[in-house]
Amino acid sequence: MPELPEIEHLRRTLAPHLVGAVVRTVTLHRRDILRHPHDVTTRSVGRRLLRDGRITTLARRGKQLAIITDDDRTVCIHLGMSGQLCYQSPGQRLPRTDHVHATWHLESPSGRALGRLAFRDPRRFGGLWAFDSRAELHALRWARLGPDGLDVPARDLQAALARTTRAVKAALLDQAVVAGVGNIYADEALFRARLNPTRSADAITAREATRLATAIRYILANAIEAGGSTLRDYVDANGDAGSFADRHLAYGRAGQPCRRCRETLTGIRIAQRATVFCTRCQP
């Protein structure tokens, strides 16, 4: 599943193509990809999905992306496990045209064709949420998220961890604790902070929470600069894969030597998710 670095890199690669563009038409190929369709009729679906709006902002919170127009209409996009947002210049074709569920056709304010934005999601765990305003998005969807992982304060992190007896790895996967961290970057941050993922979250000390918050911010920032981690489906707006998977020190490396101490890395399951750590470096 794309996590914060992948979505932030996607936002940065999409922005030059989308900001300032007018959404001339919208094609929704699957109605069930619009997660709140109860008040959306066939005639209104285009407007709810930003038709005739000029895109002014691409925002992100955790793993979620929002496209906002000049009249404050907002579409929130979650890529789920396999979702992609791909930009096509005029005349350019998508590498894959199957499983495309929504397409936005873009123009300049003067009417010149600028290309298309396509939402593709083979496994359909992702989706679109349409809101009348950015404030409505925050109230109904983003308010339930914890601090964004890129700037999570150590004090807030420790306070959230202190409220649960779950393993610290399981707590980090909870988007109400810290928004944007998933399985990949939880393993990487815990490794960098030298914290055992099985530790009870409420036992993490203030000093350890500071180490962990610093590690989370560092890992996420570096992953963004590398374009994120492409394991299977993820590509950015230009169709390019991320390279941070080449730098993983823990995630996906069970049974391999620790790059810090050469001890064999241990693989277990926490909260039904594969977890990798070093028993020597993360006692």
Give 10-residue mean pLDDT values along the chain (283 residues).
96 97 96 73 81 99 99 97 92 77 97 95 92 96 98 98 99 99 99 99 98 99 96 84 96 98 99 98 98
pLDDT for position 56: 99
Catalytic residue at 163?
no
Catalytic residue among 51, 63, 120, 141: 63
Q: Which of 2, 5, 147, 197 is catalytic?
A: 2
273 is catalytic: yes
Report d(CA 277, CA 248) in Å as an integer. 12
Give the whole-angstrom CA distance, residue 110 versus residue 274. 51
Distances (CA, A) of 37 to 26, 30, 231: 15, 11, 32
Q: Read off the pTM.
A: 0.93
The helix (H) or strand (E) run that includes residue 210 is: helix 206-225
Q: Residue-wise over 4-14: b if at least 16 C-beta within 10 A, else e?
A: bbbbbbbbebb
3-state secondary structure of 130: strand
Q: Quote the Cα angle for 249-253-259, to 5°.
A: 40
Round to whole Å and give the CA distance between 8 and 12. 6
Predicted local distance difference test score (pLDDT) of residue 68: 99
Amino acid identity for residue 138 in this structure:
H
DSSP three-state, residue 218: helix
Extended strands (E) in 188-265: none
**How many whole angstroms separate alpha carbon 131 and alpha carbon 169?**
33
pLDDT of residue 156: 98
Q: 24, 54, 260, 273: which one is catalytic?
A: 273
Q: What CATH fold (topology level) applies to the domain 149-277?
A: Helicase, Ruva Protein; domain 3 (1.10.8)
207-231 core/surface letters (b: 16 or more CB in 10 A; e: else): ebbbbbbebbbebbeebbebbbbbe
Cβ atoms 50, 34 nearer than 8 A: no
- SS3 assignment, position 51: coil
Q: Where in the chain is the domain with CATH 1.10.8.50?
A: 149-277
pLDDT of residue 98: 82
Structure tokens belonging to residue 80? 């789920």
Q: Where in the chain is the domain with CATH 3.20.190.10?
A: 4-144
Q: Which of 3, 6, 8, 208 is catalytic?
A: 3
Overall CATH class of domain 4-144: alpha beta
Under 8 Å between Cβ of 49 and 42? no
